[in-house]
Amino acid sequence: MIRCDVLIVGAGPAGAIAALNLASSRQVLLVDKRIAPVARIGESLPPAARRLLTDMGLWDDFLRQGHAACYGNRSLWNGVAAEHDFIRDPDGQGWHLDRAQFESWLQAHAVNRGASLLTSTTLDSVTAIKDGWQVMLDTSTDCLEVQAKLLIDAGGRAASLGKQLGAGRQHHDSLVCLWLYGHDQHIAVDSRSQIEAVEQGWWYTASLPGQRRVLAFHTDSDLQNPANARELRSPAALLQAAMATTEISAQLDAAGFVADAEVATTAAHSATLQPVAGDRWCAAGDAAMSFDPLSSQGLFNAMYTGLAAALACDRTLSGEVGAFDDYGNELRRIETAYLRHLDFWYGQEKRWPDSAFWQRRHRRYVKATGQIS
């Protein structure tokens, strides 16, 4: 049996950051079901992340990791080509991360600061006991009992710990993403990411470290149309659909993009956990609040809430009352601002009034703003 101050389920960005911020003063156990981080979509880190990395004492080491610089974003939305150049951003450039390396690096910092990391380990059950929790974990070989004073759910969209504690996920839409990796035959001159709206959703492409590239299409999982999610599950079909775009296809052509052999599908809807915190526990990152990839805010939110969850745990362990309530209230404020911005941006695309994908979003925009879109 292991005793610790804080047990964190999920060692992605949110969990690893919560761990590394607690580990120097508290006993922290960080567990993850994976044996090691894997390559997956979600690699654009906005310039503002620099502030968090600096505050946590990680910035100089982050710069040594060789992630690719991103100097801005381009979009084709409502027929208007726009550019957001980070030259005007006070925090400087953004980043296209090697995502698996970024997560391994955060985990290594957590361990160096004193956290214990258990991989290939999943949550089995959780029971409230006097002054804390009894948690049963399944390791690759064994069943392990942990007694923890506090818990953090950093298990991503599944939020398995929060759900076991009685919280529910509220879904705001049914967005899904189909994506594939590939490599660029030509060295990218333009490292900016590109977004383009189409009748049934929107496309995204960005160059990655090592002359790699990601291409992704976002639509609703339940739409029945020629571009529905099921039809596009082969690289040839996804590439063919991408070639019908204007800016995305031009970027793929210019880069000499060659796709890998597999299309992956992943949930990409906005969702929030209700509640995000309770007596002696809280959720951080996607487990607490999952962002639409259009916002490019998921990683920043995971980092920020990982840090904020660590502070709430530290205050609670120091005997303060109400730290988890403050944390929950702050996340509600973030959620309100995020949903307002999301509705606004989707409401700006007005070219396809008969498309179910855009109709749904326009209805939300009208409801949220009272304006006719």
Ligand X SMILES: Cc1cc2nc3c(=O)[nH]c(=O)nc-3n(C[C@H](O)[C@H](O)[C@H](O)COP(=O)(O)OP(=O)(O)OC[C@H]3O[C@@H](n4cnc5c(N)ncnc54)[C@H](O)[C@@H]3O)c2cc1C
Q: Which residues of the chain form contacts with ligand X (CB under 6 A)? A: 9-15, 31-34, 41-44, 122-123, 154-156, 158, 160, 177, 216, 266, 268, 285-287, 291, 293, 296-300, 302
- Contacts of 370 by beta carbon, 8 Å cutoff, 6+ apart: none
**Taking the complex as a whole, how short is the minimal distance between the CB of residue 354 and ligand X, in angstroms?**
26
For ligand X, the closer CB: 17 or 323: 17
Counted residue by residue, the chain has a size of 373
**Taking the complex as a whole, how short is the minimal distance between the CB of residue 15 and ligand X, in angstroms?**
6
For ligand X, the closer CB: 5 or 32: 32
Quick check: 192 and 296 in contact, CB under 8 A?
A: no
**DSSP label at 87?**
G
For ligand X, the closer CB: 219 or 373: 219
**Taking the complex as a whole, how short is the minimal distance between the CB of residue 254 and ligand X, in angstroms?**
21
CB-count exposure of residue 246 (10 Å: 0-12, 13-18, 19+): exposed
For ligand X, the closer CB: 85 or 124: 124
CB-count exposure of residue 112 (10 Å: 0-12, 13-18, 19+): exposed
- Contacts of 88 by beta carbon, 8 Å cutoff, 6+ apart: none
For ligand X, the closer CB: 41 or 252: 41
**Taking the complex as a whole, how short is the minimal distance between the CB of residue 133 and ligand X, in angstroms?**
15
DSSP states of 252-294: HHHHTEEE-S--EEEE---EEEESSEETTEEE-GGGTEEPPGG
**Taking the complex as a whole, how short is the minimal distance between the CB of residue 75 and ligand X, in angstroms?**
14
For ligand X, the closer CB: 39 or 63: 39
CB-count exposure of residue 251 (10 Å: 0-12, 13-18, 19+): buried
**Taking the complex as a whole, how short is the minimal distance between the CB of residue 36 and ligand X, in angstroms?**
10
Quick check: 115 and 19 in contact, CB under 8 A?
A: yes
